[in-house]
Amino acid sequence: HEERMRFARELLAEMFEQLMTDGLFHADPHPGNVLLLDDGGVGLVDFGSVCRIDAGVRSGLRAFLLALHAGDAAALCDALLIIVTRPDEVDEQQLERALGRFLSRHFAVGGTPNVEVFGDLFRLVSRHGLAVPPEVAAVFRALGTLEGTLMAVVPGFSLVDEARRLVDDRLSRRGVASAISSGAHPVSLAELASVWELIRRMPRRLERVTSALEQGRLGVGVRLFANARDRQYIRSLVHEVLLTFIAATGGVMSAVLLSIRGGPVVVPGIPFFQLLGYHLLVVAGALGLRVLFLISRGSSD
C-alpha cells in the first residue's frame, strides 16, 4: 500500500508541476497513459492530447488552489474571475455567496471532497453566466481524469485532500507558512497570493500608464448606463413618454373626428367618424390611465 500511495502522490505532484509551473500539461492522464518505471518514477505516454496555458491562467489557478485550501470564498471569487471569461455584468456578491455555499458543501471540516467537486463548480459557473475558456476546461477535465487514475492506484484516494497536503509541503519548504502564522495580523494563503499577483503586475501596468501619458495617448473610456438599473430606468422612462404621446395623439384625433358632421353612416343614426372618434377616445383614456399607474408605481418605489 505504501508503494502505491507513493506512486499516486508522485503522479499528482508531477501533474501539478506541469499545470502550475510549466504551463504545458498532459490533458488525458487515464490509467493507460501512465507508466510505473523501473526506477520507481512516473512515466506518461500518448502525447496526442497536450494543452498549454499561459502565465495569467497559471497564476489564477494557483490563487484558486490556495483559496480552496484556505476556504476563503472572497479569494475564490477573485481567482475564478481571473481564469474564466468574465461577462460585462456579473453580480460578484451573489457569486461569492454561491462559492461560500460550494465551499461549505464540499470542503467543510470532516468532509471528503471527490470528483463531483468539478461538476458542481462547472454548474455554478454556468448559472452565473461565466464562460470557461477551452484551456481551463481542459485543466478541469484532466484533473477529473487524474482523480479516476489515482483512485485506480489507491482506492479511496482523495485528490483534493492530497493537493492540500502538497500545497502545505511546498509552502513549508519555502518558509511561507511560518511567516504567515508568526505575523501580528495573520493573513490567509489566498490573500497572500492575491496580493502577490497584484504586486507582480503593478510595475508593468504603471509603466504602460506613464508611457501613454508621456506620449499623449492616455484616454479614459466611460460606458454610459453600464449599470442595469440605469438602463431599466431609461427604458421605463421612454416607455412612459411613448404611451403619453400616443394617448395625447389619440385624444386629439378623437376630438377632431367627433367634431365632424356628416360623412358616411355605419348604421342609421351612427356616423362612421363619430364611431371611430369614440373608439379612439376609449383607447386614449386607457393609455392615459396606464401612464398614471406607471408614474404612481415608480414614485412608490
51-109, pLDDT tens digit by residue?
888 888 888 888 888 777 777 888 888 888 888 877 767 778 888 899 888 888 877 65
CB 99 within 8 A of CB 77: yes
Is the confidence at residue 225, as pLDDT, over 70? no
pLDDT at 221: 60
Query: What is the percentage of the chain residues whose pLDDT exceeds 70?
Result: 76
Confidence of residue 198 (pLDDT cuts 50, 70, 90): low
- Average pLDDT of 30-47? 83
Q: What is the pLDDT of residues 114-145, one digit of tens each?
A: 556 777 888 888 888 888 888 888 888 888 88
Higher pLDDT, 259 or 202: 259
Q: Give the cell for residue 21.
A: 509551473
| Closest CA relative to residue 10, chosen from 215, 211, 150 | 150
CB 64 within 8 A of CB 79: yes
Residue type, 267: V
DSSP 39-56: TS-EEE--TTSEEE--HH
Report the alpha-carbon distance of residue 209 to residue 35 in Å, rounded. Answer: 50
- Average pLDDT of 163-192? 57
Report the alpha-carbon distance of residue 93 to residue 82 in Å, rounded. Answer: 16
Phi-psi region of 24 (alpha: psi -120 to 50; beta: other; left: phi over 0): beta
Mean of per-residue pLDDT scores for the chain? 77
- Average pLDDT of 169-192? 52
Q: What is the pLDDT of residues 263-275, one digit of tens each?
A: 777 777 778 888 8
Is the confidence at residue 183, as pLDDT, over 50? no
Confidence of residue 184 (pLDDT cuts 50, 70, 90): very low
pLDDT at 111: 56
Four-CA torsion 106, 107, 109, 113, nearest 10 degrees: 60
* C-alpha distance from residue 292 to each of 221, 231, 249 (Å): 38, 21, 16
- Average pLDDT of 228-236? 74
Contacts of 45 (CB under 8 A, 6+ apart): 33, 34, 35
